[in-house]
């Protein structure tokens, strides 16, 4: 507690650009050089897939998480989150710091209220803090697992689609992956943008390409799970692989692939069993796509588990 209080002056309201990072192509370097990161002494980011994590050294117990449309650091920011370690919770510091994150991501503060209800979540639900504060923002919400309480600013998908830039060289050059993201998960409980713990669902990973247009002739899929057990964070690569080939009739749990031009939809069957003492936070899909022109490209995409 004394360590956090020592850094309290650094958590005072920080200036940010009028536009903020959300739904823009703010680069990892621009974020690290921002007023927010200068005040919070952001460490160099750990990047995996389309996620960039910056440890905030000013407190030692927070992480700034920035997710993008793809692993391309020039792609647009789709969400900005503050992760607060549950072992060192201070609600007032979290409130002030999340206000600074909102200024950096949005250019203004949408929610300045107390965050204590977020710490009472059980890991199976989330709490909406603000809905559509502007046209580019879907919502602000919080959720909880055994390691972190997360405070999330999420971009509006319709806004991202409506304002998507047209790549100048999308039809020239070698085949590359342009964007990828999970769009929906359909299970017994309905349609969601996340996977529900203990419930089987079919989830769609949408991939778009740029460069030379070519048909997918093979898709190989492998999965990782991230979970917290006995207070320890674990990231585990599962050994099993799934294969999609054109013309092969898929079984009920097999992956399916459809392609229309540059848009590729991979529909996969996912489920996470409930294990006592274990809280799964993410299932990560590694999709290795082979194209008819010989190009082989890989998409790595986390899927939130609630």
- Tens digits of residue pLDDT in 187-202: 988 898 889 989 999 9
CA-based nearest residue to 101, from 54, 44, 48, 43: 54
Task: Give yes or no for residue 19 having a pLDDT over 90.
Answer: no
Q: How many CB atoms lie within 10 A of CB 304?
A: 17
Q: What is the CATH number of domain 167-304?
A: 2.60.40
pTM over 0.75, yes/no: no
pLDDT at position 122, please?
82
Condensed to tens digits (0 to 9), the pLDDT of residues 210-247 reads: 999 999 999 999 999 999 888 788 889 999 999 999 99
Percent of the chain's residues with pLDDT above 70:
92
Q: What is the pLDDT of residue 91?
A: 93
Residue 300's pLDDT band (boundaries 50, 70, 90)? very high
What is the C-alpha to C-alpha distance for residues 142 and 113, in angstroms, rounded to an integer?
Answer: 13
3-state helix, strand, coil in the chain (%, to 5): 15, 45, 40
């Amino acid at each position: 507690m004394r360590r956090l209080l020592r850094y309290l002056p650094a958590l005072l309201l920080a200036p940010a650009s009028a536009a903020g990072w959300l739904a823009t192509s703010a680069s990892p370097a621009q974020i690290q050089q921002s007023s927010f990161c200068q005040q919070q002494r952001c460490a160099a980011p750990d990047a995996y897939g389309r996620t960039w994590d910056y440890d905030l050294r000013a407190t030692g117990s927070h992480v700034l998480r920035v997710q993008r449309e793809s692993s391309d650091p020039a792609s647009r920011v789709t969400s900005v989150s503050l992760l607060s370690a549950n072992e060192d919770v201070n609600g007032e510091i979290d409130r002030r710091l999340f206000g600074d994150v909102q200024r950096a991501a949005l250019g203004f503060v949408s929610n300045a209220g107390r965050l204590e209800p977020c710490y009472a979540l059980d890991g199976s639900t989330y709490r909406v803090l603000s809905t559509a504060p502007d046209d580019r923002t879907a919502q602000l919400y919080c959720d909880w697992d055994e390691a972190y309480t997360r405070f999330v600013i999420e971009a509006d998908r319709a806004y991202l689609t409506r304002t998507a830039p047209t790549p100048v060289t999308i039809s020239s050059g070698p085949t590359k992956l342009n964007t990828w993201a999970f769009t929906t998960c359909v299970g017994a409980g309905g349609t969601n943008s996340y996977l529900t713990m203990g419930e089987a669902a079919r989830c769609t990973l949408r991939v778009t390409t740029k460069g030379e247009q070519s048909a997918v002739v093979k898709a190989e899929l492998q999965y990782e799970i991230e979970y917290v057990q006995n207070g320890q964070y674990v990231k585990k690569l599962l050994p099993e692989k799934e294969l999609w080939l054109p013309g092969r009739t898929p079984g009920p749990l097999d992956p399916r692939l459809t392609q229309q031009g540059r848009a590729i939809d991979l529909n996969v069957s996912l489920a996470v069993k409930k294990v006592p003492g274990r809280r799964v936070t993410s299932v990560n899909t590694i999709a290795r796509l082979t194209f008819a022109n010989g190009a082989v490209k890989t998409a790595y995409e986390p899927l939130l588990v609630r």
